[in-house]
Amino acid sequence: MIYLLLSILSSSLIYVVFKLLDKFNIKISYAIVVNYLTAVVAGYLGHSKSFELETITTASWFWGAMILGILFITVFNLMALTTKINGLSAVSVASKMSLSIPILFVIFYYNEPASALKIIAIVLALVAVYLASIKDRKGMVAKKGSIIFPVLVFFGSGIIETGIKFLEHNYVAKDDVALFSMTLFIFASNVGILISLYLLLVKKIKFTYKELLGGIALGIPNYYSVYFFIQALRGNMDSATVFLINNVAIVMLSTLLGIALFKEKILRKNWIGIALAVVSIILVALTTR
């Protein structure tokens, strides 16, 4: 349970840092690259055993980590594009509703139990995520011809969490969680460096110390959000429960932090979403007793 709580806290801190990046006008593209490089360093320092490059390239999870690492930064850029075209609510709903993909995967692929109470909890969780994520009174509005972007965010986010579960369950050894997590960020940072070089050399967008500091602040909780999430998947609770509680609690805590720290305005539907989130967590917790 402690790893799940730390995963929720780390992911919620990412939200806080993102808000601060916006507040201080820090260029997000550069901060993201520094963030991934910081995560690589955190993974290196967190790995208890000495290793060589061959240890990574010959690991059974290497190619899967490469695909997921590239997906990390690809989905992030899709989220940024979706926010610009469809609005914040669209990307928030699409990314969080994607929890349905890994939940369905573990129930059917690993034959995890799905009682009536758990199904009700899952449905309530999805409704809660939707209501808590909508920041516009009109709800989520996708412009004509641009629905493909939130759809891609939905599937991309779901595939990432599903892929992490599949690899950690089948290929990642107990002592290799830090190394595996670090490798994800290595590939993400490599793609990010190429993007940054384009912005710096072609677009002539300056890189300053603010992007460096912002990226470091973002990278530490980002790394641990993945590390603790993988450890939570290896705990006593079934994976569907971990996915549900992790995603719903992040939405709930992030919303509350937005109110407390940034004086964000919350709609009635957001409060209803938070209330349903609490109910769904209680219900799914009852199924694990």
Q: Using one digit for the tens of pLDDT, what is the confidence trace for 26-70?
A: 998 899 999 999 999 999 888 767 777 888 999 999 999 999 999
CB 116 within 8 A of CB 145: no
pLDDT at 144: 58
Q: Residue ranges per domain, the chain? A: 2-286
Residue-wise pLDDT for 175-224, tens only, equals: 889 999 999 999 999 999 999 999 999 999 999 999 999 999 999 999 99
Is the separation of the CB atoms in 218 and 35 below 8 Å? yes
With a CB cutoff of 8 Å and minimum separation 6, the contacts of 255 are: 132, 264, 266, 270, 273, 274
How do residues 153-173 score in pLDDT, each as one tens digit?
Answer: 999 999 999 999 999 999 999
Look up residue 246 and give its amino acid. Answer: N
Burial (Cβ within 10 Å: 0-12, 13-18, ≥19) of residue 86: buried
Over residues 233-275, the pLDDT tens digits come to 999 889 999 999 999 999 899 889 988 998 888 888 889 999 9
